[in-house]
Amino acid sequence: MHFTIIHHSELDSTNNFAAALIKQNALIENFVVSTEKQTNGRGQRENLWWSEPGKNLSFSIVLQNISFETTRMFDLNIITSLSIIYALKPFFSEIKIKWPNDIFANGKKIGGILIENTIQGNKIANSIIGIGINVNSEKMPEFLANATSLGIICQQKFDLHLILTQILESFGNVWNQMSIYNLLATEYKQHLWLLDKKHRYLDKNGIFIGTLKDVLPDGKLVLADEFTNLRYYHFKEVEFIYE
Ligand code: BTN
The 10s digit of each residue's pLDDT in 138-168 is 999 999 989 999 999 999 999 999 999 999 9
- The reply to whether ligand 1 has any atom less than 6 angstroms from the CB of 166 is no
Domain identity same for 112 and 206? no
Asked if pLDDT for residue 243 goes beyond 80, the answer is no
Ligand 1 centre to CA of 40 (Å) is 10
Domain that holds residue 149: 4-190
Reported for 176-182, long-range contacts at CB under 8 A and 24+ positions apart, including other chains, are 176/1, 178/75, 178/79, 181/75
pLDDT at 46: 85
Q: Does residue 158 share a domain with residue 203? A: no
The whole-number average pLDDT for the span 31-47 is: 95
- Going by their DSSP bridges, the two strands 31-38 and 4-11 should be labelled as parallel
Atom of ligand 1 nearest to the CA of 40: 14
- Clarify whether residues 150 and 215 are in a common domain: no
Which of 17, 39, 131, when mutated, tests ligand 1's pocket best, judged by the most ligand atoms within 8 Å of its CB?
131
Query: Do 234 and 143 reside in the same domain of the chain?
Result: no
Ligand 1 close to Cβ of residue 43 (< 6 A): yes
CA of 207 to the centre of ligand 1 (A): 28
| Cα of 95 from ligand 1 centre, angstroms | 19
Average pLDDT score over residue span 216-233 = 96
- CB 210 near ligand 1, within 6 Å: no
Statement to judge: residues 22 and 42 lie in one domain: yes
Q: Is 146 found in the same domain as 37?
A: yes
Reported in sequence order, the residue ranges of 41-186 that DSSP labels E, i.e. its strands, are 57-63, 68-69, 95-98, 102-105, 108-120, 123-133
CATH code at 111? 3.30.930.10
Same domain? For 14 and 106 the reply is: yes
Task: Count CB atoms within 10 A of the CB of residue 107.
Answer: 13
Positive or negative CA dihedral for 177, 111, 72, 119?
A: negative
pLDDT score at 41: 97
42 lines ligand 1 (CB under 6 A): yes
pLDDT range class, residue 179, cuts 50, 70, 90: confident
pTM of the model: 0.96
What confidence tens digit (pLDDT) does each residue in 52-106 have?
999 999 999 999 999 899 999 999 999 999 999 999 999 887 899 999 999 999 8
Q: Is the CB of 49 under 6 A from ligand 1?
A: yes
pLDDT at 212: 98
Q: According to the model, what pLDDT value does residue 175 have?
A: 95
Q: How much is the mean pLDDT over the chain?
A: 95
Judgement on whether residues 132 and 232 belong to the same structural domain of the protein: no
| CATH code at position 224 | 2.30.30.100
Taking the centre of ligand 1 as the mean of its atom positions, its distance from the CA of residue 86, in whole angstroms, is 19
Question: Can you give the pLDDT at residue 19?
Answer: 97
Judge if 186 and 203 occupy the same domain.
Answer: no
Q: Is 38 in the pocket of ligand 1 (CB under 6 A)?
A: yes
Are 14 and 86 contained in the same domain? yes
Establish whether residue 15 lines the binding site of ligand 1, counting it when its CB lies within 6 angstroms of any ligand atom: yes
Choice between 116 and 26, residue whose per-residue pLDDT is larger: 116
Q: Is 100 in the pocket of ligand 1 (CB under 6 A)?
A: no
Residue 26 banded pLDDT, cuts 50, 70, 90: confident
What domain count does the chain have? 2
> 42 CA to middle of ligand 1, Å?
5
E-assigned strand segments in 26-100:
31-38, 57-63, 68-69, 95-98
136 and 74 both lie in a single domain: yes
Q: Does residue 153 sit in the same domain as residue 121? A: yes
Establish whether residue 44 lines the binding site of ligand 1, counting it when its CB lies within 6 angstroms of any ligand atom.
yes
